[in-house]
Structure 1
Amino acid sequence: MTRTRATRVKKVPLWRWRHNPLRRSSDRVEAWIVLAAWFVALVGGLLAGVAADAGMADSLAARRASVHTVSAVLTGNAPKSATVTTAGGSGDTVWAKVRWSGADGSTHTGMARVATGSTAGTSVKVWVDTRNRLVTSPPTALEARLQSALAGVLVAFGTGGAAAGCACLARFRLDRRRMRAWEAEWKRVGPQWRKKMNG
């Protein structure tokens, strides 16, 4: 009894780029689409990520430069219980009214987070912008670096994913076009084969 060995089909690398009488024009188009998708995904994604990182870093640096801390005082006693904090507040701080003086000597008041149980007249540090409006504290240099790096990574992956998605869509449409061409060709050739087989 003889054993038959299954023959393996050898994959030819870069077959779409080789000269081949069976290669269709759509195969060449598909090869260019794949090449362009890889280029955009790798190079374009890298450049977009670096640009997003730099843009976010500049934006956060500008924000840090546009705010500064001032010394303010509580105008009244802060609540002793954190149960009066608004949604999203921490248990160690509460909202209380504070007063501070601007660089031009003008007096300003607003609501800021202070430690629970602070008494009137307690000095606190608050962040204000160039118009002496209370703002949230800007991210630290480390936080800003992490945020900008994360933005760069997300944009890079988003660009690569978009390129891959467009390439898949283009290849899908090419496949559908080839299937329609094959169907049309079979409708033309199929009856002739049937006549030969039946004849």
Structure 2
Amino acid sequence: MSVAATPPSHPVFHTSLRGHVRRAVGRDHNPLCRPLDRVYSGLITGVALMLLVASVLAVVAAVLVYGAQTRDATQLARHRHVVTAVTTGPAQLVDPGAGRVREHAPARWTYPVGPGSGFVPVPDGTSVGTAVPVGLSDAGRPVGAPRPTGLIVSDAVLTGLGTVAALGFVTEGWFVLCRRRLDRRAERSWEAAWEQVEPGWSGRR
């Protein structure tokens, strides 16, 4: 009567990361360690390195976004001049279909390059003839306020998290694919070895 056998669990998954590194570089001299175990350790070491690289890239991406947006905000603030404008018409919604719910009103202002007019953002319910502050560029055209530091930090953090998530997803997919292939190799190797050992072990001829 033949005896069914199942392949042993891979000891590679019960080893610390340091042990995986030692095994992957051939410094683990355990006689029970198979070549396939070293390949598994190399795979896990590679995953750890990829996650480390992903973390570094996430920090770099966050710093780059923060730096770029900070420079843009500083540049805008340097060339933005706040003057007092007077509304010449009632406040109204501008392009509400696009989600812009802040009211704007027609207004006139005086600036060194000459008088100007246009639609400027105003508080809700602003009446005609109200004095409101408006930011102008060097050329006298209305410009928005520089991006707040809080939003810049939020963008940088989200960029870093997005980078980690994307690279982590790729790393996980690569690990799962490689592990399945190695599992199939382990099964074939175990079945071949069992075919040679089982007859003598079970007494079957």
TM-score if structure 1 supplies the norm length?
A: 0.69
Contact 1:72–1:123 (Cα < 8 Å) also in 2: yes
Where structure 1 has 5 or more consecutive residues not aligned to the other structure, the ranges are 1-8
1:112 is the counterpart of 2:116: no
Q: Amino acid of the residue matched to residue 136 of structure 2?
A: V
Aligned to 1:22: 34
Q: 2:76 aligns with which of 57, 63, 70?
A: 63
Are 2:133 and 1:125 aligned? yes
Residue 97 of structure 1 deviates from its aligned partner by 1.5
Aligned pair 1:74/2:49, yes or no? no
Q: 1:176 to 1:32 in 2, by over 3 A?
A: same
Q: 1:97 to 1:152 in 2, by over 3 A?
A: closer
Q: Is contact 1:33-1:167 (8 Å) kept?
A: no
Written as runs of structure 1 = structure 2, the 5 A alignment for 1:72-111 is: 72-76=85-89, 78=90, 85-86=93-94, 87=96, 88-89=100-101, 94-105=103-114, 107-111=115-119
The answer to whether the 8 Å contact 2:82/2:133 transfers is yes
Show CA shifts across 1:9-50 (max 9, x none).
9x4423322314325342243133133124224433333323
Once residues 194 and 127 of structure 1 are traced to their aligned partners in structure 2, the CA distance between those partners, rounded to angstroms, is: 86
Q: Does 1:175 align with 2:179?
A: yes
Identity of aligned residues (%): 22
- Deviation for aligned residue 1:89: 3.3
Distance in 2 of aligned mates of 1:22 and 1:110: 77
Partners of 1:117 and 1:35 lie apart in 2 by 59
SS in 2 for 1:37: helix
Change (3 A) 1:113 1:34: closer
TM-align CA RMSD: 3.1
**1:194, CA displacement in angstroms?**
5.8
Q: 2:66 maps to which residue?
A: 53
TM-score by length of 2: 0.68
Relative to 1, partners in 2 of residues 1:75 and 1:152: Cα closer, same or farther, differing over 3 Å? closer
Post-superposition offset of 1:110:
1.0
Q: Per-residue CA shift, 1:99-122, capped at 9, x if unaligned?
A: 2234222x32212234535334x4
State the distance in 1 between where 2:35 and 2:57 align: 30
Q: Would the aligned equivalents of 2:40 and 2:182 in 1 still touch at CA under 8 Å?
A: no
Distance 1:31 1:51, change over 3 A: same
Mark the runs of 5 or more structure 2 residues left unpaired by the alignment: 1-10
Matched with 1:3 is: none
